[in-house]
Amino acid sequence: MSVYTHLTQQDIAQLLTRYDMGVLTSFKGIESGVENTNYFLDVDDNGQLRRYVLTLFEYLPADTLPFFINYTDALKASGLPVPNPIRDKRDVALQSVKGKPALIVPCFAGHHPDATNLTVNQCQQIGAMLAKIHRAGQGSSLYQENQRGLSWLDAQQQRLIPLLGKDDAHFMAEQWQSICDALKAFANLPTGLIHGDLFHNNVLFEQGRISAVIDFYQACNDWLIYDLAVTVNDWCLTDAFELDGQRIKALTESYAQVRPLTRNEQKAWPIMLRLAAFRFWVSRLITFVYPETQPGNEQEENLLRHFLDPNKFRDMLRKRTELLFGINT
């Protein structure tokens, strides 16, 4: 779902009075994403039409957002194509709209790649781009704990299991124990700042090249190899939830050309693919089972809801486990 908080033209026009951006001509809720409210804003800046994205954060507390602002500023300064926030007349990026923290960022040219036809070339590009993002963040003084890390997953799987059917509940408990046990062997993997959500719909291409990497709101400090696994599980996925050999080779090899993997990371690769699938199964289930109703948004016509199927990641996790152990779970 992408629009939890309904805004009127007057609400947005009032917000823009804080900026030197121009006059609002139109706006539209964005029907993608899961956790935040997003709007396209078309603004007339002295006769030149510019497009921006307004994001209202439905779950992230305001005190976590300076990290994302500083991180995207740093990536932009490193020459990477990321949308860092627009500052208002007082040089302030973080705003409040209807009691929600909010940011405005530029809207980059380009289109999301077709999920049904992700190419080897696109995977090569995103592998190299992810490694550049990791390189740019290594050694940074910025720090953000992973809000969807192991402790969160542990708490959420306990919360969800009583609500699931018998088979899914058993599978979730079994998988979580197995993953936790396996991770004990990998305490010293390289860490750094990660994107955390580098799915194909968070990348734009124009004329065959990456024009932007967007939506850094899951960014945090964590294992770099985990971020690579999250990316591979999306970009290299087949219709049967398996991994396409050519695409995974292209993506991981192009990544390693920029940031070579350690031997320990290579050993941890199978468990990271499982952890990535488990994480998104849990987070999609949370959104599906506990849809938040925002105050003032009771009327259905004021909401655009697009739930993403959590079972995709359950089935993906099953495939990753079968691949590792050669058994049916």
Write out pLDDT tens, residues 14-53: 999 999 999 999 999 987 656 789 999 999 999 999 999 9
Contacts of range 251-254, beta carbons closer than 8 Å, 24 or more positions apart: 251/123, 251/124, 251/126, 251/127, 252/127, 252/228, 253/124, 253/127, 254/123, 254/124, 254/125, 254/127, 254/128, 254/131
User: Which pLDDT tens digit goes with each residue over 140-176?
Assistant: 999 999 989 999 999 999 999 999 999 999 999 999 9
Q: Give this prediction's pTM.
A: 0.88
Torsions phi, psi of 46, nearest 5? 55, 45
Provide the pLDDT for residue 150: 97
3-state secondary structure at position 214: coil
Tell me the Ramachandran region of residue 211: left when phi exceeds 0, alpha when psi lies from -120 to 50, beta otherwise: alpha
Architecture of domain 9-106: 2-Layer Sandwich (3.30)
The CATH code that applies to domain 115-325 is: 3.90.1200.10
Query: Domain extents for the chain?
Result: 9-106, 115-325
The residue count for the chain: 329
Q: Is the pLDDT of residue 287 over 70?
A: yes
Q: Is the pLDDT of residue 276 over 70?
A: yes
Provide the pLDDT for residue 60: 84
User: Which pLDDT tens digit goes with each residue over 215-268?
Assistant: 999 999 999 999 999 999 999 999 999 999 999 999 999 999 999 999 999 999
Q: Of 254, 132, 110, nearest to 193 (Cα)?
A: 132
Q: Which of 131-135, 271-275, 303-307 has the lowest mean pLDDT?
A: 303-307
Higher per-residue pLDDT: 309 or 181:
181
d(CA 309, CA 1): 11
